[in-house]
Structure 1
Amino acid sequence: MSDDVPTILATSGGIGPGSRTRFAFTPLGHYAVELAGVSGRAPRVCFLATASGDNPAVITWLYEAAMLAGWHASHLTSFGMPNLPDPAAHLLEQDVVWVMGGSVAGLLALWRLHGYDLALRSAWEAGVVLSGISAGSLCWHVGGTTDSFGPELRAVRDGLGLVPFSNSVHHDVEEQRRPLFNGLVAGGELPTGYATDDGVGLVYRGTDLAEVVSEEDGKAAYRVEPDGSGGVIETRLEPRRLD
């Protein structure tokens, strides 16, 4: 653990297909490690693939991607029991926690069942960088939009709430996201929040949005807030392009 400021990088990116492996970390994934400020040793990155049912193949692919990146990888599972005797202590030893996508509703239920929600909050408060893609972005917020319940997107309102905002991911590529998110915020069902196009990440320092970054050209984030008359104000936030 290297960063002394609670930090979250919530993304709609960070990992993609590898040339020789199933996954490879892209600039947003590498930026999560950069935010941890590690020097002189391999960064310690713990993977949580809870949202994909702790799929052993996904975990293997993440280890392969970490090996290519030069990271020291570990993982924490929930099915059918935690794989570590003291998950909270293990998380505190990490530089970065990376959460994969999938069912955010299932992820939140299992994390609370095993106390990972409290352990992750403690790690965040201690300076471990929390990051991830899709469900691994939504989970840190108050709530957002999810396909956890089926192809028709629905609201999720019981996120960990480490930051006091709502979140929408894949905002430019999934046609249901924008209208549902805007409607939920307009109606007061979700608080003011931030949405990300694919390839864009939100950097929170403490509970404040500090930076918007992107690994793709032409993409953006959006602040969505009620306009006081039943609609929303959607403000485009231009990101800093990562190399």
Structure 2
Amino acid sequence: MRRILAIGGGGFMMEDAPSPIDQHIVSLTAKARPRICYLATPSGDLPEHLGKFHAAYGDMDCETSHLAFFRQPDSKSILTTDFRTRLLEQDAIYVGGGNTKSALAVWREWGLDSVLREAWESGVLLAGMSAGAMCWYEAGLTDSFWGAAYRPLDCLGLLPGGCAVHYSSDPQRRETLHAAQQAATIPPSIAIDDFAAALYMSTSVDSVFSWREGSTAYQVYREHETVIETALPVKRIGR
């Protein structure tokens, strides 16, 4: 069963209180004490992000670990010399936010891109927020180039099409995605709001989850000369 959960924004990295989406990830593993590994590569393995992950998922009785390429290993680390074996043992792998372009370059250099595909094909739940959501698609609409605008970026290609995140929180993302669709520089895309997430079964959207009123995901594509944006139905989680 190949599954990916793409989170537009939210969870332990953005919310102070325990988030329904983090609790939902744990429930998707269907394990009493799931093994969940965190990849903070997009943020350069910031210790603050690693700490927040271990605190949030440790409080939910998960067996947590992380794989870091920019920090010395500690007691929670998966070693870079043995990451394939350890990642394939996980129930879920979670990728954090940050610079998608830089993370992809590091993963490709280390061969992690092929291991992530192998994990997905073997049934490990893949999840991620922001950069950690876009990375799974053929393309992401990103500011990882550190320029003034968002640009399409070739990503891992596990999921078809493109992805935009934090969609309704920044009007420029919508404008740029529509322009990219019009210019055919990004394939038909899913655009995911903050406090919303899309769950894929194999390579198709199975459900969209929302834990804040008004948050959802959209299918965005060009039909003839018109860009179409269609909101997807949501399932509410949390209170």
Query: Aligned match of 1:233 in 220, 228, 234?
Result: 228
Give the equivalent residue in structure 2 for 1:211: 207
Query: Aligned match of 2:93 in 94, 97, 122?
Result: 97
Instruction: Write the letter of the residue equivalent to 1:52.
Output: S
Give the equivalent residue in structure 2 for 1:18: 16
Query: Aligned match of 2:66 in 71, 75, 88?
Result: 75
Give distance in 1, aligned partners of 2:20 and 2:44.
Answer: 26
Root mean square deviation of aligned Cα: 1.6
Deviation, structure 1 residue 225? 1.0
Deviation, structure 1 residue 112? 0.5
Give the equivalent residue in structure 2 for 1:223: 219
Give the equivalent residue in structure 1 for 2:75: none
Query: Aligned match of 1:193 in 172, 189, 194?
Result: 189
Is the contact made by 1:78 and 1:114 (CA closer than 8 Å) also made in structure 2?
no
Give the equivalent residue in structure 1 for 2:43: 52
Instruction: Write the letter of the residue equivalent to 1:35.
Output: L
Deviation, structure 1 residue 157? 2.5
Give distance in 1, aligned partners of 2:80 and 2:153.
Answer: 29
Give distance in 1, aligned partners of 2:150 and 2:167.
Answer: 14
Query: Aligned match of 1:35 in 7, 28, 31?
Result: 28
Deviation, structure 1 residue 80? 6.0
Give distance in 1, aligned partners of 2:60 and 2:212.
Answer: 20
Give distance in 1, aligned partners of 2:105 and 2:159.
Answer: 19
Query: Aligned match of 2:110 in 111, 114, 119?
Result: 114
Instruction: Write the letter of the residue equivalent to 1:47.
Output: Y
| 2:159 partner SS | coil
Deviation, structure 1 residue 68? 1.4
Give distance in 2, aligned partners of 1:88 and 1:37.
Answer: 23
Scaled by the length of structure 2, the TM-score of the pair is 0.91
Give the equivalent residue in structure 2 for 1:87: 83
Is the contact made by 1:33 and 1:95 (CA closer than 8 Å) also made in structure 2?
no
Give distance in 2, aligned partners of 1:61 and 1:200.
Answer: 20
1:3-49 Cα distance to aligned partner (Å, 9 max, x none): xx100000022323435xxxx4x1112222222222xx311110000
Give the equivalent residue in structure 2 for 1:7: 3
Deviation, structure 1 residue 189? 0.9
Q: Which moved more, 1:112-121 or 1:63-72?
A: 63-72
Scaled by the length of structure 1, the TM-score of the pair is 0.90
| 1:90 partner SS | helix
Give distance in 2, aligned partners of 1:112 and 1:156.
Answer: 18
Length, aligned pairs only? 231
Give distance in 1, aligned partners of 2:20 and 2:233.
Answer: 17
| 2:221 partner SS | strand
Gaps of 5+ in 1: none
Give distance in 2, aligned partners of 1:203 and 1:80.
Answer: 31
Q: Alignment identity in percent?
A: 37
Taking structure 1 as reference, are residues 83 and 136 closer, same or farther at Cα in structure 2, changes over 3 Å only?
A: same
1:148 aligns with 2:144: yes
Give distance in 1, aligned partners of 2:46 and 2:89.
Answer: 24
Query: Aligned match of 1:182 in 167, 178, 182?
Result: 178
Give the equivalent residue in structure 1 for 2:57: 66
Gaps of 5+ in 2: 73-77
Instruction: Write the letter of the residue equivalent to 1:33.
Output: V
Taking structure 1 as reference, are residues 161 and 152 closer, same or farther at Cα in structure 2, changes over 3 Å only?
A: same
Is the contact made by 2:101 and 2:153 (CA closer than 8 Å) also made in structure 1?
no
